[in-house]
Amino acid sequence: MGANIAVIYAGNAAAAEKVCKKCGQRYSVEARAYQCNVADFSAVKEAVVKIRADFGTVQFLVNNAGITHDGLLAMMKEEDFDAVLDTNLKGAFNMIRHMTGLFIRAREGCIINITSVSGMMGNAGQCNYSASKAGLIGLTKSVAKELAPKGIRCNAVAPGFIATDMTGNQTDNPLLDMIPLGKMGEPEDVADAVAYLAAAKYVTGEVLRVDGGIAM
């Protein structure tokens, strides 16, 4: 038996329900989906109230919401820069801000932010995405220091090239030659890192790279 799961989604209800069904069947837990724009401070507050009403408490928070609007700096629109930071960075802040009260009352909690090696290395054509992920690393470390005395841990996972819908087909990407392990990662690799940080009671403020060695 594992922990019950609250899945927050922006617009694809069918995909969210599919994830909930899969989690319920595989892990014998209750999983529910909640529609919410994580970039909206008030909407996140309402979602957290619903989650608390349904589940009573929260032990773990994984901030995995992320979008891209790639483009060269000289051509990037202001709205594309803002949208990425609003979702990737402000969204994580909003979730942490509204979940922290639950963690403090319980005197324990675990926050795991999904950042990126782009936030550590930078990436041409992704100044907005890289800035959002670099900011998320700073947020992770600041939250870790602030909440550690209250028994709350905060860490981050920094994936590299992972085979997901966001990355698309990267088989011809020359950057793959820069990966020492010589291949893209799988979503399961990131999940394993998250599971480790969830269980590691004496680890906080860390950024765990899952990148095949590209950022070492």
Give the domain extent around 71: 57-210
Number of residues written out for the chain: 216
Q: Is there a domain that residue 165 lies in?
A: yes
From 9, 34, 129, 202, active-site residue: 129
7 in a structural domain:
no
Q: Examine residue 100 and state whether it is found in any structural domain, yes or no.
A: yes
pLDDT at 69 exceeding the cut of 80: yes
Mean pLDDT of 82-106: 97
100-149 confidence digits (pLDDT tens): 999 999 999 999 999 999 999 999 999 999 999 999 999 999 999 999 99
2 — pLDDT class (breaks 50, 70, 90)? confident
Rg (CA), the chain: 17
Query: Cβ-count burial of 42 within 10 angstroms (0-12 exposed, 13-18 middle, 19+ buried)?
Result: exposed
Please indicate, yes or no, if residue 74 is contained in any of the structural domains: yes
CATH number of the domain enclosing 87: 3.40.50.720
Give yes or no for a contact between 160 and 173, defined as CB atoms under 8 angstroms apart: no
Position 46 in a domain: no
> In the chain, where do the E strands start and end?
5-9, 31-35, 60-63, 109-114, 152-159, 207-210
Q: Please give the tally of structural domains in the chain.
A: 1
Q: Got the DSSP string for 103-128?
A: HHHHT-EEEEEE--THHHH--TTBHH
2 lies in a domain? no
Query: pLDDT of 8-39, one tens digit each?
Result: 999 999 999 999 999 999 999 999 999 999 99
Cβ neighbours of 79 (radius 10 Å): 10
Rounded-to-integer distance, Cα 3 and Cα 59, Å: 9
**Residue 202: active-site member:** no
Is residue 87 situated within a structural domain?
yes
- Confirm whether 41 is domain-assigned: no
